[in-house]
Chains A and B, each alone.
Chain A
Amino acid sequence: MSASDLQPKADLPPPATSVAAPAPRPAAPTQPLPAAAPPPPNPLAHLPFAFQGVDYAARGYHCEVTIAPDQIIAVAESLDKEGLALDTITGVDWIAEGQMEVVYDYFHPARALRVVVRTRLPRDNPEVASIHRVFPGANWHERETHDFFGIRFLGHPNLTPFLLPEDADYHTHEAIPPHGVPSEMFTLNLGPQHPATHGVLRVKLRMDGEYILHAEPVCGYIHRMQEKMGENRTYAQFLPNTSRIDYLSAMTYTHAFVGAVERALKLQVPPRAEYIRVLTSELNRISSHLVWWGAFLLDLGGFTPLLYAFDDREKILDLLEGVTGSRLTYSYYRIGGLCNDVDDAFIKGTRQFVAQMRPRLKMYRSLVTDNIIFRKRLIGIGPISREMCRKYGATGPVIRGSGVPYDVRRVEPYSVYPEFDFEVPVFGEGDSLARYLVRMEEMAQSLRIIEQALDKLPAGPVMVEKVPRVIKLPAGDYCYAVEAARGRFAVRIVSDNKEIPYRVKLRTPSLSNLSLFEEASAGMLLPDALALMGSLDLVIPDIDR
Chain B
Amino acid sequence: METQEDSLQGLRDCSPYVKFAKLDELLALGRANSLWPLTFGLACCAIEMMAAGASRFDLSRFGAEVFRPSPRQADVMIVAGTINKKMAMAVKTLYDQMPEPKWVIAMGNCAISGGPFVFPGQYAVVEGVDKLFPVDVYIPGCPPRPEALIEGLLKLEEKLTGKRRWPIVKPE
Is B39 within 8 A of A195, CB to CB? yes
Interface residues of B in 11-69 (CB under 8 A from A): 39-44, 46-48, 50-51, 54-56, 69
Residue from A229, A329, A540 within 8 A of B142 (CB atoms): A329
Nearest CB in chain A: distance from B47 CB, A: 6
- The segment from A47-55, A152-160, A215-223, A452-460 that touches chain B is A215-223
Is A310 within 8 A of B40, CB to CB? no
| Distance A544 CA – B72 CA, assembled complex (angstroms) | 29
| Distance A37 CA – B78 CA, assembled complex (angstroms) | 82
Q: Which residues of B are found within 8 Å of A225, using beta-carbon distances?
A: 117, 122-125
Q: Which residues of A are found within 8 Å of B41, using beta-carbon distances?
A: 199
Q: Which residues of B are found within 8 Å of A200, using beta-carbon distances?
A: 42-43, 81, 84, 87
Is A221 within 8 A of B123, CB to CB? no
* B-contact 0/1 string along A297-325, CB 8 Å cutoff: 00000000011001101100000000000
Q: Which residues of A are found within 8 Å of B40, using beta-carbon distances?
A: 193
| A196 to B, closest residue via Cβ | B69
Residue from A194, A195, A199, A232 within 8 A of B43 (CB atoms): A199
Is B56 within 8 A of A311, CB to CB? yes
Is A311 within 8 A of B90, CB to CB? no
Q: Which residues of B are found within 8 Å of A192, using beta-carbon distances?
A: 87, 90
Counting chain A residues whose Cβ lies within 8 A of the other chain, the interface size class is 20 to 34
Residue from B43, B56, B123, B142 within 8 A of A222 (CB atoms): B43
Q: Which residues of A are found within 8 Å of B84, using beta-carbon distances?
A: 200, 220-224
B163 within 8 A of A: no
A175 within 8 A of B: no
B145 within 8 A of A: yes
Is A327 within 8 A of B124, CB to CB? no
A541 within 8 A of B: yes
Is A224 within 8 A of B44, CB to CB? no
Is A314 within 8 A of B51, CB to CB? yes
B113 within 8 A of A: no
| A219 to B, closest residue via Cβ | B86
| Distance A307 CA – B65 CA, assembled complex (angstroms) | 12
Nearest CB in chain B: distance from A189 CB, A: 10
Q: Which residues of B are found within 8 Å of A328, using beta-carbon distances?
A: 44, 47-48, 143
Interface residues of A in 491-545 (CB under 8 A from B): 540-541
B161 within 8 A of A: no
- The segment from A84-92, A240-248, A274-282, A416-424 that touches chain B is A240-248
Residue from B44, B46, B56, B124 within 8 A of A314 (CB atoms): B56
B116 within 8 A of A: yes
Nearest CB in chain B: distance from A271 CB, A: 32
Is B42 within 8 A of A199, CB to CB? yes
Is A247 within 8 A of B44, CB to CB? yes
Task: Say whether chain B's binding surface is mostly helix, strand, loop, or mixed.
Answer: loop
Counting chain B residues whose Cβ lies within 8 A of the other chain, the interface size class is 20 to 34
A354 within 8 A of B: no
Is A307 within 8 A of B81, CB to CB? no
| Distance A75 CA – B44 CA, assembled complex (angstroms) | 66
A342 within 8 A of B: no
Q: Which residues of B are found within 8 Å of A194, using beta-carbon distances?
A: 69
Most buried by A among B40, B51, B125, B145: B51
| Distance A265 CA – B82 CA, assembled complex (angstroms) | 34
Nearest CB in chain B: distance from A113 CB, A: 53
Nearest CB in chain A: distance from B102 CB, A: 15
Residue from A222, A233, A327 within 8 A of B82 (CB atoms): A222
| B117 to A, closest residue via Cβ | A224
Nearest CB in chain B: distance from A197 CB, A: 11
* A-contact 0/1 string along B105-117, CB 8 Å cutoff: 0000000000011
| Distance A328 CA – B52 CA, assembled complex (angstroms) | 13
| Distance A333 CA – B39 CA, assembled complex (angstroms) | 33
Q: Which residues of B are found within 8 Å of A220, using beta-carbon distances?
A: 84, 86
* A-contact 0/1 string along B87-100, CB 8 Å cutoff: 10010001000000
Is A310 within 8 A of B87, CB to CB? no
A291 within 8 A of B: yes
Q: Which residues of A contact B (CB under 8 A)?
A: 192-195, 199-200, 220-225, 228-229, 232-233, 240-241, 244, 247-248, 291, 306-307, 310-311, 313-314, 327-329, 540-541
12 A-B residue contacts at CB 8 Å? A192-B87, A193-B69, A195-B69, A199-B46, A222-B43, A225-B123, A228-B122, A229-B117, A310-B51, A311-B54, A314-B51, A327-B51
7 closest cross-chain pairs (CB), A and B: A310-B54, A247-B44, A221-B87, A195-B69, A224-B117, A307-B55, A314-B56
Q: Beyond A228-B123, A310-B54, list 11 extra A-B contacts (CB 8 Å).
A: A192-B87, A192-B90, A193-B90, A200-B42, A200-B81, A225-B124, A247-B43, A291-B50, A307-B55, A311-B56, A329-B143
